[in-house]
Amino acid sequence: MNGLTMGTTWSVRLQADAAAIPDLQRGVQTQLDLVVAQMSTWEPGSDLSRFNRAAAGTRQPLPPEMRQVMDAAFALAHDTGGAFDPTVGALVNLWGFGPDGERRAPDAALLDRTMTRVGWQRLKLDPSGVMTQPGDAYVDLSGIAKGYAVDQVTRYLLAQEVPAFLVEVGGELRSHGHKPEGTPWRIAVEQPTSADFNERAAAAQPVVALDGMAMATSGDYRHFFAENGRRYSHTIDPRNGQPVSHGLASVSVLHAECMHADALATALTVLGPAQGWDYARRRKLAAFFVWHDGDGFKTRMTPQFRAALAQP
217-266: per-residue pLDDT in tens? 997 655 555 555 566 577 899 999 998 888 788 899 999 999 999 999 99
Residues contacting residue 195 through CB under 8 Å, at least 6 positions apart: none
Helices (H), 139-257: 145-159, 194-197
pLDDT at residue 232 in the model? 58
261-303: per-residue pLDDT in tens? 999 999 999 999 999 999 999 999 999 999 888 777 889 999 9
**How does residue 99 score in pLDDT terms, banded at 50, 70 and 90?**
confident
Residues contacting residue 129 through CB under 8 Å, at least 6 positions apart: 61, 62, 64, 67
64-90: average pLDDT? 97
The answer to whether the CB of 192 falls within 8 A of the CB of 249 is yes
Which range has the worst mean pLDDT, 12-26, 44-58, 86-100, 217-231?
217-231
Taking the mean position of all CA atoms in its chain, how far away is CA 63? 20
147-185: per-residue pLDDT in tens? 999 999 999 999 999 999 999 999 999 999 999 899 999
Start-to-end C-alpha separation, the chain: 28
Put simply, whether the predicted model's pTM sits higher than 0.85 gets the answer yes
Task: Please give the sequence-ordered ranges of beta strands (E in DSSP) within 205-284, or none if there are none.
Answer: 207-210, 214-219, 224-227, 230-233, 248-255
211-217: average pLDDT? 95
Q: Which of helix, strand or coil describes residue 290?
A: strand
pLDDT at residue 52 in the model? 97
Angle between helices 258-282 and 145-159 (to 10 degrees): 120
pLDDT at residue 196 in the model? 46
Q: Is the pLDDT of residue 140 over 90?
A: yes
